[in-house]
């Protein structure tokens, strides 16, 4: 009684026309349920067993897990391949777009629309790659996974890790990498430092306690720490082979004739594999506390968003070697965070590899090169053959 799965083009159109923005600003945040319902219908029609799992306390947000073929456990846990992506997009400013962000438009060999590159299109390609596969032909299961809220706080991947359910042995995340495999990514943290002193008239320093001058001392400490970290931690696979700290926002005081009572500094930190967000936060707090104590200031360090750990899948992992052989490119490293560390923590050996370009992501007039579609589907079919169909 199942219906035929729509054409690739129809699936692409359907995905782009179904908005699923995630945002930390509640007025821009949307449910991803309509998009998951669409995927669930197609996947069920393609023979997959589909589950939609609501995030704890968020009935409007869910992860989708669709599995074709039975579960097999090998000596190292469950076998099989997971093709994964995030079902959400970033918010958009429609007036900056030349094309309708919510309508797939083809022009000059490019498919325009929000989520074409990053990364709703990927689901259509994954379903297309699985088209016609009979469950009984699979020696190991094929799973298609769509997560919630990757763009805001990675709540979907965090919920999967929390649930701790093994999903397979290998995973590919179809994030935009220009068809090149990625096996390493840096972790990302955003931290806010707040110092509180006492304001007073500028004419007499004894009347106040300057938070701004305290922050100057904090910043000096942090820039020295940045040098230390860069000297101690190196990973030559990365284009920027050391951890980075960028002070990107500072605000303090209200007037030149008042001693500054409060000052706030925001930092972006990018972590190499081997560093943990916990260790870096402890190092940050220690330095801020020392400066604040010496000056009698109150201090606070808070996360701007939940940290994303760094990720590393070994170069000799079968999924890395297979992706390198199929693309003809050695696996690379990127300086942005992905869901890979959460998947790695679930026991999945994970590569990031997708048809879009990161330069297109989060930009008005986001597009996917039409010429990337066929090679990506071929690549997915190659991975399905290797990890689900062939004798191990
Ligand atoms: Zn993405």
Assess whether pLDDT exceeds 70 at residue 122.
Answer: yes
Exposed/middle/buried for residue 66 (C-beta within 10 Å: 0-12, 13-18, 19+): buried
% of the chain surpassing 90 pLDDT? 91
Distance 188 CA to ligand 1 centre (A): 14
Arithmetic mean of pLDDT, 81-86: 98
Distance 176 CA to ligand 1 centre (A): 7
Catalytic residue among 88, 128, 262, 357: 88
Please measure the distance between the N-terminal and C-terminal CA atoms of the chain and give it in whole angstroms: 34
Q: pLDDT by residue (tens digit) across 226-279?
A: 999 999 999 999 999 999 999 999 999 999 999 999 999 999 999 999 999 999
Q: How many angstroms separate the CA atoms of 107 and 110, rounded?
A: 5
Distance 115 CA to ligand 1 centre (A): 8
Prediction pTM value: 0.91
Q: Say which DSSP state 373 is in.
A: H
The reported pLDDT for the residue numbered 369 is 97
Which distant-in-sequence residues (6+ apart) come within 8 Å of 198 by Cβ?
208, 209, 259, 261
Assess whether pLDDT exceeds 60 at residue 375.
Answer: yes
Arithmetic mean of pLDDT, 140-146: 96
CA atoms within 13 A on the CB side of 317: 24
Long-range contacts of 323-330 (CB under 8 A, 24+ apart): 323/172, 323/181, 323/351, 323/353, 323/379, 323/383, 324/181, 326/378, 326/379, 326/382, 326/383, 327/179, 327/180, 327/181, 327/353, 327/379, 329/179, 329/180, 329/181, 330/181
Assess whether pLDDT exceeds 60 at residue 142.
Answer: yes
Distance 175 CA to ligand 1 centre (A): 5
Q: pLDDT by residue (tens digit) across 87-98?
A: 999 999 989 999
Please say whether the beta carbons of 154 and 345 come within 8 A: no
Q: How confident is the model at residue 152 (pLDDT cuts 50, 70, 90)?
A: confident
Distance 157 CA to ligand 1 centre (A): 13
**How many residues are given for the chain?**
392
The reported pLDDT for the residue numbered 361 is 85
| Alpha carbon distances (Å) from 57 to 53, 76, 263, 304, 354 | 11, 33, 35, 21, 31
Would you call 150 a catalytic residue per the annotation?
Answer: yes
Arithmetic mean of pLDDT, 351-380: 95
Q: pLDDT by residue (tens digit) across 311-361?
A: 999 999 999 999 999 999 999 999 888 999 999 999 999 999 999 998 888
Rg (CA), the chain: 24
Which distant-in-sequence residues (6+ apart) come within 8 Å of 283 by Cβ?
225
Task: Give me the residues paired with residue 265 across strands.
Answer: 193, 250
Q: pLDDT by residue (tens digit) across 166-225?
A: 899 999 999 999 999 999 999 999 999 999 999 999 999 999 999 999 999 999 999 999
3-state helix vs strand vs coil in the chain, percent to 5:
30, 25, 40
CB atoms within 10 A of CB 202: 15
Q: pLDDT by residue (tens digit) across 156-183?
A: 999 999 999 889 999 999 999 999 999 9
Q: Say which DSSP state 386 is in.
A: I
Which has more pLDDT, 85 or 358?
Answer: 85
CA atoms within 13 A on the CB side of 345: 17
What are the tokens at 220?
A: 């000096």
Would you call 88 a catalytic residue per the annotation?
Answer: yes
The reported pLDDT for the residue numbered 231 is 96
CA atoms within 13 A on the CB side of 25: 6
Assess whether pLDDT exceeds 70 at residue 132.
Answer: yes
Distance 340 CA to ligand 1 centre (A): 12
Distance 177 CA to ligand 1 centre (A): 10
Catalytic residue among 149, 150, 191, 339: 150
Assess whether pLDDT exceeds 60 at residue 289.
Answer: yes
Assess whether pLDDT exceeds 60 at residue 1.
Answer: no
The alpha carbon of 291 is separated from its chain's Cα centroid by a whole number of angstroms, namely 34
Distance 23 CA to ligand 1 centre (A): 13
Q: How many angstroms separate the CA atoms of 34 and 16, rounded?
A: 12
Q: pLDDT by residue (tens digit) across 67-76?
A: 999 766 666 5
Query: Whose CA is closest to 225, among 265, 281, 171?
Result: 281
Distance 219 CA to ligand 1 centre (A): 32
The reported pLDDT for the residue numbered 24 is 86
Distance 367 CA to ligand 1 centre (A): 13
Q: How many angstroms separate the CA atoms of 233 and 244, rounded?
A: 10
Q: pLDDT by residue (tens digit) across 3-30?
A: 899 999 999 999 999 999 999 889 999 9
The reported pLDDT for the residue numbered 201 is 95
- Residue showing tokens 């104590």: 293
């Amino acid at each position: 009684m199942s219906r035929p799965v729509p054409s690739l083009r129809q699936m692409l159109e359907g995905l782009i026309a179904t908005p699923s923005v995630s945002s930390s600003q509640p007025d821009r945040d949307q449910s991803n349920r309509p998009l998951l319902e669409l995927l669930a219908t197609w996947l069920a029609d393609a023979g997959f067993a589909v589950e939609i799992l609501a995030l704890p306390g968020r009935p409007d947000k869910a992860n989708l897990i669709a599995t074709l073929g039975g579960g097999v456990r090998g000596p190292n846990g469950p076998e099989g391949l997971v093709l994964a992506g995030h079902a959400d997009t970033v918010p958009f400013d429609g007036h900056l777009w030349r094309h309708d962000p919510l309508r797939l438009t083809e022009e000059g060999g490019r498919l325009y629309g929000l989520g074409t590159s990053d990364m709703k299109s990927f689901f259509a390609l994954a379903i297309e790659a699985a088209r016609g596969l009979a469950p009984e032909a699979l020696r190991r299961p094929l799973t298609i996974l769509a997560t919630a809220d990757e763009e805001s706080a990675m709540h979907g991947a965090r919920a999967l890790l929390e649930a701790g359910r093994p999903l397979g042995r290998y995973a590919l995340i179809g994030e935009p990498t220009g068809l090149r495999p990625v096996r390493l990514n840096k972790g990302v943290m955003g931290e806010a430092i707040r110092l509180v002193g006492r304001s007073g008239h500028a004419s007499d320093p004894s009347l106040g306690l300057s938070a701004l001058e305290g922050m100057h001392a904090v910043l000096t400490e942090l820039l020295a720490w940045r040098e230390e970290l860069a000297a101690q931690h190196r990973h030559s696979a990365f284009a920027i082979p050391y951890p980075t700290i960028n002070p990107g926002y500072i605000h303090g005081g209200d007037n030149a004739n008042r001693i500054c009572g409060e000052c706030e500094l925001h930092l972006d930190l990018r972590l190499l594999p081997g560093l943990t967000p916990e260790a870096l936060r402890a190092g940050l707090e220690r330095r801020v506390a020392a400066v604040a104590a010496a000056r009698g200031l109150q201090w606070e360090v808070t996360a701007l968003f939940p940290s994303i750990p760094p990720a590393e899948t070994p170069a000799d992992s079968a999924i890395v070697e297979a992706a390198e052989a199929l693309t003809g490119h050695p696996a690379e490293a990127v300086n942005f965070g992905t869901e890979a560390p959460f998947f790695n923590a679930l026991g999945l050996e994970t590569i990031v590899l997708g048809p879009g370009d990161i330069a297109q992501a989060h930009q008005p007039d986001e597009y996917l090169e039409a010429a990337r579609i066929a090679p990506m589907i071929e690549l997915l079919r190659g991975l399905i053959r290797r990890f689900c169909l062939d004798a191990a």
